[in-house]
Amino acid sequence: MLKGFIAGVAACAVAGLVGAYLFVVLGMMPANADGRPPALEKWAARKSLHATIERQAPKGPNPVAADDKNMIAGIGIYRENCAVCHGGADGAPSNIAVGLYQHAPQLAKHGVEDDDAGETYWKVFHGIRMTGMPSFHHTLSEEQIWQVTLFLQHMDKLSPKAEKAWKAVPSQAPAKA
């Protein structure tokens, strides 16, 4: 009786694995980036992201001083590394931002000023799997990641000097034909 039950469970597990294998190798698992993510995929991606950040993101305030020097350094880092996907001060998306599977938020319009410093730091350091958000810890120093985080935290309340630097980041909208 027990033997039969175990054999049944094993057969179901094998059938499940074969089914999953065929789903992948027969090209039924979507590989295109021009669709919208299904609800289940979205739910799993969001839940795992929040749970991971909760567990791993550094706690406490941004360790770099909120002065013009760091803010302007953060804006320069943003211009070089982020604007192509997250836009300039006009919030107009580039073709790249629009074409990503998970659309990249235009941070001038949908900013992350309310997020904890550690959460934004974690996202920039590690990137976000299954989206176009890259990890920057191979290419930016910890200080640079905190500086760009500082800018994102204060994007809606910059000093006049930093505001001028931000407004000078070129629009990412495609040139009109």
Cβ pair 55, 126 in contact under 8 A: no
Q: Binding of ligand HEC at residue 104 (CB under 6 A)?
A: yes
Cβ pair 105, 46 in contact under 8 A: no
Q: Binding of ligand HEC at residue 82 (CB under 6 A)?
A: yes
> Given the rule CB under 6 A, which of 2-10, 59-67, 118-126, 168-176 is the region that contacts ligand HEC?
118-126
> Given the rule CB under 6 A, which of 15-23, 61-69, 117-125, 158-166 is the region that contacts ligand HEC?
117-125
- From the centroid of its chain, how far is CA 114? 16
Q: Which is nearer to ligand HEC, 71 or 82 (CB)?
A: 82
31 CB contacts (<8 Å, ≥6 apart)?
A: none
Q: How far apart are CA 119 and CA 56, in angstroms?
A: 9
Closest CA to 53 of 125, 110, 111, 104: 125
Per CB under 6 A, the list member of 70, 73, 86, 155 interacting with ligand HEC is: 86
Query: For binding to ligand HEC (CB under 6 A), which residues are involved?
Result: 81-82, 84-86, 100, 102, 104-105, 112, 120, 123-124, 128, 131-134, 136, 148, 152
